[in-house]
């Protein structure tokens, strides 16, 4: 049996992840596992990342990445969004197993196993850690909520249909 220290931190995380079969995250020191996404979920993430990647970046050197990629928000909080957008100045912060700090845009595609966490917990965490935008894609509702302007653990949400969505970051219309 795997012994897990509480609270769990960066140092123990690689060992713990290697001993589990789920997608694992650490949220405020607690190990959280979720089932792997469905093929439908993965298809949405793929289409979204392709669409974002086709939009010319202002600097030309931005990166669009999709899960699995760890985002290290704090020593006791490692999350894994479905996709991220890193602006050029953030690329140097990336390390082999994830990212120190976090991207300009974190994206979650809602699914039954993670909706509550994506809508409540991750929104609060990303706002608290000043992630510039947190996009929540709801396939069932056919909406994208672009959460912007993080302040005091909250965002200003902008809801759009699955028509083109406009990021507050320069040059990003998806």
- In angstroms, rounded to a whole number, what is the distance separating the alpha carbons of residues 7 and 70? 18
pTM here is 0.73
- Which residue's entry shows tokens 């699955």? 162
Q: Based on the structure, what is the number of domains in the chain?
A: 1
Name the β-bridge partners of 101. Answer: 72
Provide the pairing of β-strand 30-34 with 23-27.
Answer: antiparallel
What six digits make up the tokens of 148?
Answer: 């912007």
> 42 near 36, Cβ under 8 Å?
no
Tell me the per-residue pLDDT of 59-110, one tens digit each, with 9 for 90 and over: 667 788 888 777 778 877 878 899 988 887 776 655 444 555 577 899 999 9
Tell me the per-residue pLDDT of 128-172, one tens digit each, with 9 for 90 and over: 998 999 999 999 888 889 999 999 989 998 877 766 666 666 656
> 134 near 162, Cβ under 8 Å?
no
Residue 64 CB neighbours (<10 A): 20
Residue 107 domain-assigned (yes or no)? yes
For 86, the domain range is 37-69+78-161
Top pLDDT among 123 and 14 is at: 123
Residue 90 domain-assigned (yes or no)? yes
Q: What is the pLDDT of residue 20?
A: 56
Q: Could you tell me the CATH number of the domain that includes residue 48?
A: 3.90.1570.10
């Amino acid at each position: 049996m795997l012994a897990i220290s509480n609270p769990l931190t960066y140092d123990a995380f690689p060992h713990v992840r290697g001993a589990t079969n789920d997608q694992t995250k650490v949220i405020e020191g607690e190990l959280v596992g979720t089932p792997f996404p469905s093929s439908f979920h993965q298809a949405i993430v793929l289409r979204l990342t392709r669409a974002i990647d086709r939009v010319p970046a202002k600097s030309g050197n931005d990166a669009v990445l999709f899960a699995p990629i760890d985002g290290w928000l704090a020593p006791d909080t490692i999350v894994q969004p479905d996709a991220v957008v890193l602006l050029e100045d953030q690329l140097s912060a990336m390390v082999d197993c994830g990212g120190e700090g976090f991207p300009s845009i974190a994206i979650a595609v809602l699914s039954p196993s993670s909706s509550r966490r994506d809508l409540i917990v991750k929104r609060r965490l990303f706002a608290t850690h000043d992630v510039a935008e947190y996009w929540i894609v709801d396939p069932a509702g056919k909406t994208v909520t672009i959460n912007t302007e993080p302040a005091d653990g909250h965002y200003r949400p902008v809801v759009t249909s699955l028509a083109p969505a406009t990021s507050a970051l320069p040059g990003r219309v998806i």
